[in-house]
Amino acid sequence: MFKLIESPIFERVVAAADGVIAVPIPTHFSSTAPRCFPKGIFMLDFAFWVLQKLCEYCFPPLMKKLRRGEISTWNDLACKQINRHLEHQAVTHGPYPHEPVLVVQPRQPPAPEIRDAVERKRAALGVASPNDPHALVTNNVAWGDDPLQFTLLPMDYAQLCVLRETGSRETLPRVLSANALIVCAERRTIMLHRRSDTSATYPGCLHTIGGGYWPPGLDGRDGDGRSLRYTVVREVHEETRVNIVVRDSIPVLALEELQTGFIQMAFLGCTIDEEACRHAEANKEGHVVWVGFDELEKRLLNDDDWVPTAKASVLAWLAMAAPGAGDRPRFGGKRPGDLFRTVVASESD
């Protein structure tokens, strides 16, 4: 009853179906196509695919609305799989077509009970490391909204450190940050960051490239304005000396890091060329690690080597058919969606 359909048309359709969820990128097919069909069902499926493409050409606004609904259904499934795999470590939301709205509140002095501790920490940081600005998320975020809205309380790193030291896990400060999963299709590799052994959170672990949002005006500088895209571009340059462009087509997720309180906006599939790879540099917070497509599965199966939100970012990127990885990318011979399913099906610690 079933037989493999071998034809150039079939190969093109199946090759376009590398992902397991839909993303707002026109070059990605919106679902996983099986390799075997009853002949009549395959012809019906192909006819529907042609009709879909015609409607996208003739009625783009309508199809955009329909695609948003389709995206939501598929992404909910993938997010649940990632969240189950990283249970008690990270929570994934999204993706979000629109950039979050940032509402920055006026800076407040430290509470009286921690004021002296903050001053001592500031004095210590003046010698050891910069006392950079940060922003804490203070509102209950409605993760189902698009755009997301974050109400932010600015503070310096010294005050953040004291809040971490004196608070409980239930009251961890929720620091807003932005990270990029950077891809070089020419080298078939992704750029990650091995955190230094002195990092405040997850020392020695692999992470995507990024860092904390800088609220404007806290220390006399403009900061990152109201844009997390600016945050991720700035942080990537500071940590690697590589310049990236965050295009509108790049999928964006929101990630909650449960052990540290971080809330990250993850930009998945920012591309760089081989020349940029050669100029990447390390910094005091860690060093660049290049992970080839063919070794990615082995890395992902070692759960202890990852910052949980970094692993969530890579898994989501694979589920989205690895945007930015080139035409028909393979990971040790596996399609992106196949590797995603392999990893999320494995036992996590």
Q: Are the CB atoms for 286 and 200 separated by under 8 Å?
A: no
Instruction: Kindly report the backbone phi and psi dihedral angles of residue 301, in degrees, each rounded to the nearest multiple of 5, phi listed first.
Output: -80, -10
Residues 252 and 112 in one domain: yes
The pLDDT tens digits of the residues spanning 141-162 come to 999 999 999 999 999 999 999 9
SS3 content of the chain, % helix, strand, coil (to 5): 40, 20, 40
Residue 31 pLDDT greater than 60, yes or no:
no
Specify whether 186 is located in the same domain as 277.
Answer: yes
> CA geometry: angle at 267 spanning 262 and 271, to 5°?
140
pLDDT for res 4: 39
pTM: 0.78
Q: Within 10 Å of residue 223's Cβ, how many Cβ atoms?
A: 20
In a domain, 79, yes or no: no
Distance from C-alpha of 258 to C-alpha of 260, rounded to nearest angstrom: 6
- In degrees and rounded to multiples of 5, residue 201 shows phi and psi of -130, 140
pLDDT for 128: 56
The DSSP call for residue 348 is -
Residue 178's φ and ψ, nearest 5 degrees, are -140, 135
* Structure confidence by residue, pLDDT tens digits, 57-90: 787 777 665 554 444 445 678 889 999 999 999 9
Q: Indicate if 204 and 321 belong to the same structural domain.
A: yes
* Mean pLDDT (whole number) for 120-136: 83
Query: 168-197: per-residue pLDDT in tens?
Result: 777 889 999 999 999 999 999 999 999 988
30 and 155 share a domain?
Answer: no
Looking at the structure, tell me whether residues 164 and 231 fall in a common domain.
yes
Q: Are residues 206 and 297 in the same domain?
A: yes
Contact (Cβ atoms closer than 8 angstroms) between residue 210 and residue 172: no
Residue 11 — very low, low, confident or very high, per pLDDT cuts 50/70/90? very low
pLDDT at 49 over 90: no
Dist CA 143 CA 190 (whole Å): 28
Mean local confidence (pLDDT), 38-61? 70
- Residue-wise pLDDT for 278-290, tens only, equals 888 766 667 899 9
What is the count of structural domains for the chain?
A: 2
Length of the chain: 349
Pairing of strands 286-292, 149-156: unpaired
pLDDT band, residue 12 (cuts 50/70/90) = very low
Domain containing residue 109: 89-345
Distance CA 174, CA 259 (A): 11
Q: Is-contact 193 108, C-beta < 8 A? A: no
Could you tell me if 258 and 130 lie in one domain? yes
- Whether residue 82 is contained in a domain is answered as no
What pLDDT score does 303 carry?
Answer: 82
**pLDDT exceeds cutoff 50 at 163:** yes
